[in-house]
Every structure is written in structure tokens, then in C-alpha cells.
A and B are shown apart, each in its own frame.
Chain A
Amino acid sequence: MLYSTRSKLIAGFMAVTLLVGAASLFIGVRLVDEHVFGEALNRVSQDLNAANEMYLTRVKHVKTSLSITTLGFAFISSVRERNTVDLALRLERMSKLAELDFAGVVDPRGDVICRIGPNAFPPPGRRPANPLTQMVLEQRVSVSGTVILPKDVLVEENHELAERARILLASGPESPSNAREEVTAGMTIAAAVPIFEGSSFVGVLYGGILLNRGEAFVDTVRDTVFQGESFGGKSIGTATLFLNDVRIATNVLTPEGKRALGTRVSPRVEEHVLGKGRRWTDRAFVFSDWYITAYSPIETISGRRAGMLYVGVVEEKYADIRRQLLTVYSLLTVAVMLAASALGWVIASRISSPIHRLIQASRQVSEGNLTPDIGPTEKGEIGLLQNTFKEMVAFVGRRHADSEARIMQSQRQASVGRLAAGVAHEINNPLTGVLTYTHMLLRRSELAEDVRGDLQVIAEATERVRKIVKGLLDFSRQTKIDPEPTDINRLAASATTLIENQALMKGVAIRLNPGENLPELIVDRSQIQGVLINMVINALDATPPGGTIRVFTASGYTGQPSGRKGVEITIADTGSGIAPENLDRIFDPFFTTKAVGQGTGLGLAVSLGIVQRHGGHIRVQSEPGKGTRFFIWLPAKDAS
């Protein structure tokens, strides 16, 4: 029972903890998803902005380099004078400083005067039109931005560049269409600036950076934006430039650890970014890992969407945060559950240990130990239980002592009774002889007077012995009671009337205070009357002249909690009282304080026997010098 209480408590705690743990886990995961993942998307979006900014900075850088160059007098005059040697030197220097992959000067007709690279001084004639210079020649204002240079333009410009721009398309699940086998066009960051001498237009300076296979930009983006953050030995961030949907510069690695050049973006992203010109921010599966990605379209100087810029963060990092959070939550839940179990155990112990002690105590009580140890008194209901238990044990103790005393009393009476019966039988035979011979002697007429007197003494003494033995026998006999409905007040009145004369002679008043509405008693009238007479005579014997004996009757209950209904007859005298050391012995057979020959010491013992056989009891209260009260309690008809 106890263990089940304990386990119930613990189970309850566990259930609550589990519920709370599961709820917080669920909420935690949701929070991680919403906030951490949202935060990640946010961050990647910002990273893309930064990358875009860097891209534009590059564009500006190229344009600025070119613009500054076109402002130099020496350069202008070299263009005007077509000093190719000087121009070649200057272009070379500028390109190196500005890290340009191609640069050149064209005359107002569009013919190349000079350029860097192997084809520095092309012979005049039809050349593929450079879209960059074309715009400046037409509008005479500088342009800058993203320019797609077709293969022939690249070859004309520098066949090495054309070679670098060529990227084989990867075949694989991500590139379902193999229509184009390779990328040949070059994606460039380029600018072209018109050259004026005074107000006359003398030519165009152009230059740019080829982005195909250009690791510098994407790696710079990665290093700048993600600042070397790494996860699992890899940089968490990646950046990529797309020409249309093909990766032409990237630090996304293939599973083999190579840069994933020539691979394509997913059609969904392509459709969204290139088709609709919108940004894309979402999770995306890139090769072997999930990334949180952001794409933005790149437009050429002519306003055509020709590529994309991408940054992405390995989702693993956030998944890891989620995993960590989950682990922490789970551990926390388990810890709380353990704590709850421990708490449950402790609480259950605190509840059950006093109960357990009470059980032990009950066992002890049932084995007869009426002073069991139930431990310290607890607070609250347990304490209440303990106190009630104590009261119960105390009550049982009193009852036990009570009934023990009663048992001892009746045992004493029984043994005295048996003894009396045996003694009476043995004594009566020789007593018959004594009585017979004494009386026969007394019949003789020739006796001397003194002898006659002596014989009289013997006869009287024998008569006394006979009375004592008779009393013994009366005491010992367990007469059956012959009960009938009785008005106790009438019985008490007849008993007091019988003694009234005797009392008057002694100068003691007897008062009867009959109670009203007494329950009907069913008793042996003559026996109970005998008891009353005996008790009143006892009171009379103890009361000096001038005293009073009062007899009350009243409805009463036993002093026990069961509270059986009955009638209590009180006989109170103003006599000498009973010494406290004698109170316990007054009901013992042969106990008497009267002078020798005045009483047999059997009256109270016989009275008690009769009352007990009626289911009642007699109590006594006494104060030496003031008087004594006897309380005779008899059960009512319906109570027994």
C-alpha cells in the first residue's frame, strides 16, 4: 500500500515532468526553427547584400581606374599621337595596378589602337564588335558594370582569356539538359571611358576583369563576409557567381573537393531569380549539404539578366544548434525527471514513514504494548492521525486497565467464592456437632449456673461462626437474576423506608431525590433492593449523628465514549469517608473497617457481584472527613 503510494506519487511527478519536458522541447524546436532559422535566413540575406556591395565596389574600382587614367595629359596626348609604345606601357601599368584582365584603347571609329596581351596591336580591319566600346562610341559617356563578352570578342581580345573563360558543363543530376556542353562566353566586370582632349573626342579606354574561374572575388566575399567562420573543418559560408545558371566562379566544392565549376543551379532557383528577377532566400540542397542560401540576379550594362550572385551558409551549423538545444532540453527534462523522482521519493517517505511507524505501532498495540513509539508528531493531517492514534491507544489503555481491574475483581471473587464454598462445607459438619452438643448440654437441668453461662458463650460464639459461614455461602453462590421491569424510584423509596427508623434512632436524615423521566430498567427487584439496602446501611454506619444520607436517581450514561444509556443511583453520605489507600480494596470480600462482629466484609462484594451481573458497575468517590459517594449505574432496557 505504501509502496504504491510512493510509486503513484513518483509516477505523477514523472508524468508532469515529461509533459512539461515534451512541451518545452516542442516549443524549443519551434523557437529554433522560427528564430534561429529565420535569423539564419536574415543573416544570409544580409550577407548577400554585402556580397553585392563588394561586386559593385569592384565595378566602381574598374571604372575609377580607367577614369583616372583618361585624365592624364601624357596619356591623352599619347592617344592623340597614337604613340602605341607609350600607350602599351601605360595600359600595362594600369592593368597591373587595377588588376585588370583586359584593357585597351580604341579610336573614335572603333579600331583598337592598343591593348594589353598578345594581340596588342591588331592590324586595322573588321573585328568583332566589343559591346563595351560600342556603347561609349555611340553615347560618349562612360559605362561600367557587368558585361558578357562572347567567345569571338574574347579570342580577339586575348586567346588566353578565351581559354580561361571556357568551362565544361558538368553532367549530373543537377544538369539535366546537356544542350550546351560548355560555356564559352566570358562574364566580366568592365568599364569603358571616353577620352577627350579638350572638347574633342579622341578615343575610348576600356578594361575589365574576367570573372570566369576568377577565384579572387568569390574567395574574398567568403573571407570578408564569413570572416573565416568554419564548421566541421569547412568554411561555413560559400559564394558563387553564375553565368546564367552555370557556376563560373565558386568556392562551393564538389564531393571530390574540387570547385564546382560548370554545375548548374536548380531550375526552381533559376526560374525565380533569372526568370522573374527576384531574390531567393531559402534552404537549398547544394551537392552534399543543405545550405541556407540567397541568390540575387546580375544584370548586364544593357539591362539583361545574365547571371546570379549567390551566398550560402551550411545549414548544418544551425541544425547543430538545434540539435544542441534539443540535447540540452532532453538532458534538462531527464534531470528534472530524476529530481522529481527524488523529490517524490522524499515526499512519499515523509508521508509514509510516519504512517509506517503508525502501522508498526498498531502492531505493537495489538501485541499488548500500550506505549508504542510512533516517532515525532508531524504537522497537518498526518499529525492529526498520529494524535488520534495516541488518543485511541490511551483510551484502549484506560479500557484495558479498567477491564483488567474488573477481571481481577471477579477472579478474586470467584476464587474467594470457591474457597468459601469449600470451607463452609468442611466447617458446617463439625459445627453441627458443636451446636448439637452445646444445646443438648444446655437442656440438662442439673447444671451449675457458671457452667450454664459458659455453655451459653459457646452457643453464641458458634452462632456467630454459623452466620459468617452463611454469609460466605451467600457471597459465593452465583444466583441467577430474575429480571422484571422495575421502577427504580419506587425500589429506592422502599429501600430507604426500610432503614428510615434505624436512621431516625441514630439521628441521621435520609433524603431521597428521585429523578424524572428515567428509562425503564429490567432488573431482579429483590436483589437490587438488597444492594440498595446494603449500601444505605453502610452509609448509615459511616455517618455520625446529625449527618445526612442522600439518595439520587438520574438518567445517566457510562463514562465511556460508547455512552450506554442507563440510570445512575447515587448514595451520598456525610460520614467519615474512606481512606485513599482503602478505596481499591472496599469491594474485596472480607474487607471491612467495622468493629469485629459488626460486619462480615462481604456486603459490598456481594452488591458489586449483583450489579455486575446486571451489566452495571459501581464507582466510589470519597474524601476522608467529608463523606463518600457511591454511584450505581444500571443499563437501560434497550441499552443491553
Chain B
Amino acid sequence: MKPSVLVVDDEPIVRKSCRLVLEAAGWQVLEAGSAAGALALLTSATPRLLLVDLKMPFEDGTRLIGRLREMGIRTPAVLMSGYSTEDTARDAERLGALAFLGKPFTPDELTDTIQRVLNRIEKEEDGHGQSKDPGHR
């Protein structure tokens, strides 16, 4: 089974764009239109990565990540936002994400960012002597 990515964004066009790019890159894509939707989905699914929009109605991306960490779900997350500046990118880690992706992005930028994050996770897991990642693409 292909590794999956959960895209959480209130904008259908963003979810659709991500699905297009990521499926072409060999990922299985899960979608949620809100933080609540993401939480519901995560009770059954265990994606390899979360791609979370920073600004969403009701509950934003950082709060979602916070809730997941509280629940013990440590799935790595990438924050994305149309409200991107250098500062927010710098703050991504503080917000609980491993990377930041400013909207709009090209397909290459999306896949590059995800690749970079996964490489980093693998490196850390290697360092901790944990089981190898099943792989991607």
C-alpha cells in the first residue's frame, strides 16, 4: 500500500491541486476540509504525513497539530499558508510543524518540501535506531 498524505485545507482547489501533484508522485492522498474532519479521519487512518493549512475557519492548523500531539499522534506535519512571509516560515517549527510551504506553490516545490521532510524524519529515526521507513513513490 502506498504511503498516504492527509491534506487538511478548507479550500477545495488547494486539496484538489495537492491530490493531483501527490498522486502523480505516487502518494495516496486523504483529504479533510477542516480540523474536525481531520481528527475524525485520523481515528481510522494513519497517514505518513500531514499537510495542514495554517488558516482555517473554526480551528486553525497550529491548533490542530497541538490537539494531535496531545492525543499522542506524532505524525509529522507540514504547514502551508497563503499568508506566508519569511517570519511565518521561520516560526513553523515552533508551531509544531517540520516545514512550511507558502502558497502558491508549484508542483515541484510541493514534492521537494515533502521529500525534504521525509529525508529528515528518516535521518532522525536512523539515529534513534528505529525501524526503516517503508519507502515512498
Contact = CB atoms under 8 A, between A and B. Distances in A.
Interface of A: 421, 424-437, 439-440, 443, 462, 466, 473-474, 477, 479
Given A432-B14, A432-B104, A466-B104, A440 B83 contact: no
B85 A473 contact: yes
Given A425-B83, A477-B85, A477-B87, A432 B103 contact: yes
Contacts of B106: 435-436, 439
Given A430-B13, A462-B104, A479-B87, 16 more contacts: A421-B83, A424-B83, A425-B55, A425-B83, A428-B82, A429-B104, A431-B103, A433-B17, A435-B17, A435-B104, A435-B105, A436-B20, A436-B21, A437-B17, A443-B107, A473-B84
A432 B104 CA distance: 4
A440 B24 CA distance: 9
B83 A432 contact: no
B103 A428 contact: yes
B82 A429 contact: yes
B11 interface: yes
27 contacts: A421-B83, A425-B83, A426-B82, A428-B83, A428-B84, A428-B102, A428-B103, A429-B82, A429-B103, A429-B104, A431-B103, A431-B104, A432-B17, A432-B103, A432-B104, A432-B105, A433-B13, A433-B17, A434-B104, A436-B20, A437-B17, A439-B106, A439-B108, A443-B24, A466-B104, A473-B85, A477-B87
Contacts of A432: 11, 13-14, 17, 82, 103-105
A572 to B, nearest CB: 32
Nearest to B11: A429
Contacts of B123: none
B33 to A, nearest CB: 13
Nearest to B55: A425
A237 B81 CA distance: 129
B94 to A, nearest CB: 15
A322 B110 CA distance: 122
A385 B102 CA distance: 63
Interface residues on B, range: 20 to 34
A429 B20 contact: no
A440 B20 contact: yes
Contacts of A443: 24, 107
Interface of B: 11, 13-14, 16-18, 20-21, 24, 55, 81-85, 87, 102-108, 110
Q: When A and B form their complex, which 5 residue pairs have the shortest distance between CB atoms, in order from nearest? A: A428-B82, A436-B17, A431-B104, A433-B13, A428-B103
A474 B83 CA distance: 10
B105 to A, nearest CB: 6
A429 B110 CA distance: 14
Residue among B16, B17, B87, B107 having the largest count of chain A Cβ atoms under 10 Å: B17
Contacts, number: 71
A69 B110 CA distance: 175
B102 to A, nearest CB: 8
A184 B3 CA distance: 174
A611 B43 CA distance: 51
Nearest to B18: A436
Interface centre among A421, A429, A462, A466 (most CB of B within 10 A): A429
Nearest to A427: B82
A558 B82 CA distance: 41
B36 to A, nearest CB: 20
A424 B16 CA distance: 20
A433 B108 CA distance: 14
The residue among A430, A433, A436, A437 with the most chain B CB atoms within 10 A of its own CB is: A436
Contacts of A437: 17, 20
Contacts of A440: 20-21, 24, 107
A251 B18 CA distance: 149
A430 B24 CA distance: 20
Contacts of A425: 55, 81-83
A462 B104 CA distance: 10
A430 B14 CA distance: 7
Nearest to A459: B106
A433 B11 CA distance: 10
A431 B81 CA distance: 12
Contacts of A479: 87
B82 A424 contact: yes
Chain A CB count within 10 A is highest, among B82, B107, B110, for B82
A619 B102 CA distance: 36
A424 B103 CA distance: 9
Contacts of B13: 429-430, 432-433
Nearest to B84: A473
B116 to A, nearest CB: 19
Q: Give the interface centre of B11, B103, B110 by most chain A CB atoms within 10 Å.
A: B103
Contacts of B21: 436, 440
Contacts of A430: 13
Contact of B107 (A424, A427, A436, A473): A436
Contacts of B84: 428, 473
A427 B55 CA distance: 14
B93 to A, nearest CB: 18
A430 B9 CA distance: 13
A473 B55 CA distance: 15
B85 A474 contact: yes
A38 to B, nearest CB: 110
Q: Choose among B16, B21, B55, B104 the residue with the greatest number of A CB atoms under 10 Å from its CB.
A: B104
Nearest to B110: A436
A256 to B, nearest CB: 127
